[in-house]
Amino acid sequence: MAKIKICGLRRVEDIAYVNQCKPDYIGFVFTGSRRRVTKEQAKELRALLKPDITAVGVFVNEAPRIIAELVQEGIIDMVQLHGEEDEEYIKQLKSLIKDAVIIKAVRVAGEEDILRAQELSADYLLFDTFSQTGYGGTGECFDWKLLQNVEKKITKPIFLAGGINCENVEKALALCSPFGVDVSSAVETNGYKDSEKILAMVNKVRKIK
């Protein structure tokens, strides 16, 4: 059964929704986005989060020491890197956060992007839709066949992101067999997390074998 991550939580209500639905992971965005939260906001929200839900911090080209502080203070459990972080950066971050898991997001324009990511020492990979203007959150799918074509060469667990919703998640899981799926805009209404949509997505993924 695939894992599910609900990203972009920023309100007390959002935490109440996920505490009820219990996805495997939630994401706090610490970079330029309408979903961005400060360290103080994330700390308050994390205190309300049920302990069996893993909190992931999402960053873009952030100073490693800033990320390390969030991990060390127990505000986040895992780190998701969405920028141009290279192997040197990942090694430096690993030296600071020790056992915390790192997810490296890759914006997929072609098969070479997928294969190149294998060379990084991140623990997980997240494949998202390529955008010329941003670092994710497009709400659009990339060509999943690109991932399917090189699936046997991928050795790390992967998350699939970009335009995944209740209507296409079954197809996504069948084509790509990811470790987990990452959703955000698909579980929102008018830019805010929607409890019914979150519940529907979690239930849908949990029913897919």
Residues catalogued as catalytic: 7, 128
> Cα dist. 183→15, 25, 33, 74, 98 in Å?
15, 11, 15, 23, 27
What the block records as the tokens of 199 is: 């519940």
Closest CA to 7 of 134, 193, 135, 133: 193
Structure tokens that stand for 162 in this block: 């970009």
E-assigned strand segments in 61-208: 78-81, 101-108, 124-129, 158-161, 180-183, 188-189, 192-193
Alpha-carbon gap, residue 11 to 141, rounded angstroms: 26
Question: With contact defined as beta carbons under 8 Å apart, do 31 and 135 qualify?
Answer: yes
AA identity, residue 172: A
Q: Residue 121 corresponds to which tokens in the numbers above?
A: 């020492």
